[in-house]
Amino acid sequence: REHLGRPLRAFLADHGLTTDDIGTWVCHPGGPKVLAAVTDVLGLADDALDSARRSLAAVGNMSSASVLHVLQSHCGSQRPEPGTWGLLMAMGPGFCSEFVLLRW
C-alpha cells in the first residue's frame, strides 16, 4: 500500500497517462491481499484484476513470473480492443516493482 501508487503514477505521467487511461491491467497475482491492496491504492474497478485472480486460483503465485501467465490470458479470447493501453506490473521481495506499458 505504501510503495506502489506514487511510483506507478509517476511512471504513467512520464508517458502522459494516468490510471484512468489504462484499459487492461496485467498484474502479478501475489496473493489476495496484494490484489486487494493494488485495487484499493490505484482506485481500480473491482473487476480490473480478475485475470490475476483467475491465474492465482489456477496456478498460484509463481513469483513475479506469474505475470506472464496473466498476460497469456489477454492474448487469447480476452484480447483487448486495438489501441487500448495496458500496464503489466510485477512485484518482488523487499518491495521492488516493474512496470511495462502495453498498447494492444
Q: Number of structural domains, the chain?
A: 1
Please tell me the pTM assigned to this model: 0.88
**Lookup result for grid cell 485475470:** 51
Q: Given a cut of 80, is residue 33 above it in pLDDT?
A: yes
What pLDDT score does 16 carry?
A: 98
- CATH code, 60: 3.40.47.10
Find the domain containing 34 and state its range. Answer: 5-103
What pLDDT score does 93 carry?
A: 72
pLDDT digits (tens, 9 = 90+) for 50-102: 999 999 999 888 887 888 889 988 887 678 899 999 999 998 777 788 999 99
What pLDDT score does 62 carry?
A: 83
